[in-house]
A and B are shown apart, each in its own frame.
Chain A
Amino acid sequence: MSGRSPRGLGASTDPAPPPFDRYPEPPLDRRLDRRDFLRRLGVLTSAASAGALAPVWDARPAAAAPVPTVRIPRQRVQETDPADLTVLEAASLMREGGVSPLEIARACLSRITAHDPLLRAFNRVEEEALLEGARAATEALGRGAQLPPLHGIPLALKDNFFTAGVPTTANSHIYRDFVPEYDAEAWRRLRGAGALLVGKTQMGPLATSRATTPDGEVTTRNAWAPHDARVSPGGSSSGSATAVAARLAPGATGTQTGGSITNPADAQGLTGIKPTMGRVSLRGVIPLTYTRDHPGPLARDARDAALLLSLMAGPDPADPRTLGQPPLPDLLGATLPAVGSGGSPRLRWPTRVGVFPDYLSPPAGPPPEPPGPDADPEEQAAWRFRTEAWERRREAYAPRAEFLRTLGELGAEVVELPYPQDWSVLTGGDFNNARLPERSEPFLEHLRRDVRLFGVSLSPWINGMLLSGTEYLTGQRARLLLASRILDGIFGRCDVVALESPIPFDIVGLPLISFPVGMTGSGPAARPVGALLGGMPWAEDRLLAVAGAYQAVTDWHRRRPPDPESGVDPVPGRSGEAPLRLDVLDVLESGE
C-alpha cells in the first residue's frame, strides 16, 4: 500500500470510551419491562385482538452513523495484503490515502483466482463490474468528495439475495435462469452505502444445508480445512463464510432460518449476527420460511458485523415485518468497551450471562452407535447428523470455561439458568418441523410442475404438505409459549444467554451472535470454535457489546486460515476425485 494524503469520507474518530457503567443510554433490551408479563398475557391478547393497542414504536429509520477512524499500526499497513483488511480498516485506510478501492478489489480478485477453484465459495464472480466500480470509486475518492460509509468496499452476497441484472439462483434448478429486475432491499441499502458486488456465493440449495449443487454435490469447503471436503463450512451461508474467512471478500451477507449465519460463523472463525425478526427487510430474498428467515452479515469481527447490520437494517414499506420496530440504536458504538478503573476494557453495560447447567460439560455418553449395514437410508442419515453434532459438541465445550472466565474479567456476572419448562419439547425436532408448511406453500407451483426441480432438497418440501392446518396452528401457538418462557424464564435472570443451538431463538425470532472463542486441534487440523449468545428482542446492541468487549482483549477473531497448499489437493472434478455428495435425507436431517 502506498502512502497518500488523507481524504474525506464522512469520517469521525471513535469517541473516548466512557467510564464503566456511565453510559447515558441503556441498551435497548432494558427499555422495556417484563414484570407481570405472563400474568398479563391473556388480558393483553384480548386487548390487542380488539384493536385497543396502538403502535408503540417509531418507524423512522435510524440515521446512518459515520464511519469511525480505526487506528492501524504503520507496520501492519505496509505488511498486510489489502484483502486481509476488515471493512472498517479498509474504509479508514481509504480516507487516509493508505489504500484505494481498486487495490482492494484487485487483491480480492487475485485471491479468488488463486484459491476459489478449490474453495468454491462463489457461484459467480462479477469481476468486470467490480473493477469498473472500484475504478469509479477510486476516482471519486481522489476528488475528495463526501462519500458514503462503505465507499468502494467489495462485499459478497449469498445467492438468495436479488441482484438487479445479475443471476440469482439459490443453488436451485428452480431459479436456474432467474435474473431479478431489482435489488433485495438489504443489498439496495448496502449498495447505496457505497458497497461493490464481488459476486454471489454458494449456498445449500434453497438455503437448506451446507452448500451443494442443486443435485447434492458438495461445492464449498471450509477455509480452515481446504484439503478435506468432509469438514463442513457450516450451512447454508457456506460460500459467504468461506469467502470472508479465506480473504476473498472483507464481508458478506447471509440468511438464517435454522442457524445458517451463526453456524458458518462458528465453523470458520467469523462473527455472524442474526438480528431480531424484522430488523432487516426480506424483500428480494428468496423465501425459505416466511416467519423465520433473517438476513444478516458475516464479518471478521464484531465492529464489521455492527457496521454492516446497521446499514442493512431499517423499515421497509414493502416488508410489513420491518415496520413499527424500535429505532435502530448505535450498533457500531455498542461494540466499544468501557474502561475500568485500571484502564482495562470492561463490558459497556453491566451484563449477566446466563448458562444452562450442562454448558461446560462434554457431550453426554459415547458417540452415537452406527446403524447396521442393512439400516434404512433415513437411519443412516440420522446417524450421520447425530454424529456430526456430537463431534462438534465435543470440540466446542473445552474453550467455554476460559470464555466465561474472560467475560467475568470484563465485568460480566455469570449466572446458571434452569431450562425453561418443556424446553426440549418446544425446541426439539418436531416443533421445529412446524415451519415446513411455510416452505411448501410459496413453492406449490413448482412442486406441481416437476418435483425434480427441487433436486436433493425435496424431502422437507414434501413433508411440509403433510402437516395439517391444526398442527400448524398448534406450532404457531407453541412459538408464543416458547417466546414467553424465554423472556420470563431466561431473561428474567440474565441479559444474554449462552446457547448450544441456534434453533430455539430461530424459532421465535430472537437475535443471536456467534464469534470465535478458541481453537481446537493444531497444525493443519486446527479449527476455530465459536460461542453462541442469544438476546432479548432487538438486543443486537447488547450482543455486539459483549462480542466487542471480548474481542478487545482476545485475538481469536484475528486468526486467519492458512492459504491452501497448491498441488496438495486436486481441484474437484478435474482429476478423478470422487465428489462428496449429500443425500436427500441428509438435507432433511440438517434442520436448516
Chain B
Amino acid sequence: MPPPLPTFQELSDAELDAYVLARLALAGVDISVLPEDDPEAPADRRRILAGARRFLRSTPPAIAGFAMDPQEVPPAVYPAAQVHRMAEAAATAPGGDG
C-alpha cells in the first residue's frame, strides 16, 4: 500500500521546488539562466522559487477548496457583460417581472 500523500502544508521546500521546475520544464521554460542567489540581480532563482512556493502554499488550495453549484455558476471570463445580459434577459423573459 503506498504511503499517504502529504497535505499541501506538509510539502517541503525541496518538493515544491521540484514541482515548479518540472512544471516549467514541461512548458519549455528554463530558469537556470538566472543567477542562483544575487540580491543585486533583478531576479534570481532563490527569490523566484521562494515566490512560487508562497503562491503554491496559498492559492491552489484556497481556490480548489471553494465549492460552487455547477448548475448555478458557469465560468465567466467577462462577468460584467454576462450579469448585465442575464439581468436584462430576466426582465424581458416571458413571465418576468420586468
Contacts and interface: CB of A to CB of B under 8 A. Distances in A.
A474 B83 CA distance: 17
Interface stretch (A44-52, A82-90, A131-139, A339-347): A44-52
Interface in A360-407: 376-378
B29 interface: yes
B66 A509 contact: no
The interface centre, meaning the residue of A32, A36, A290, A487 with most chain B CB atoms within 10 A of its CB, is A32
Nearest to B90: A40
Nearest to A214: B42
A41 B51 contact: no
A467 B59 contact: yes
Given A476-B76, A477-B68, A376 B91 contact: no
A276 B80 CA distance: 7
Nearest to A487: B83
Interface of B: 19-20, 23-24, 27-31, 33-34, 42-44, 46-48, 50-52, 54-56, 58-60, 62-64, 66, 68, 71-93, 96-98
Interface string A387-431: 000000000000000000000000000000000001001001111
A455 B42 contact: yes
A43 to B, nearest CB: 8
Interface stretch (A92-100, A182-190, A444-452): A444-452
B31 A33 contact: no
Interface in A458-480: 458-459, 462-463, 465-468, 470-471, 473-480
Contacts of A474: 63-64, 66, 68
A490 to B, nearest CB: 12
A47 B95 CA distance: 15
Given A36-B97, A466-B23, A477 B51 contact: no
Interface in A475-517: 475-484, 487, 508-510
B83 A480 contact: yes
A526 interface: no
B79 to A, nearest CB: 4
Interface string A23-56: 0000000001111110011101101110001001
Given A471-B59, A508-B79, 17 more contacts: A35-B90, A45-B86, A291-B78, A321-B78, A429-B58, A429-B59, A434-B59, A454-B43, A466-B23, A466-B55, A467-B60, A483-B76, A483-B83, A509-B79, A509-B80, A584-B44, A584-B47
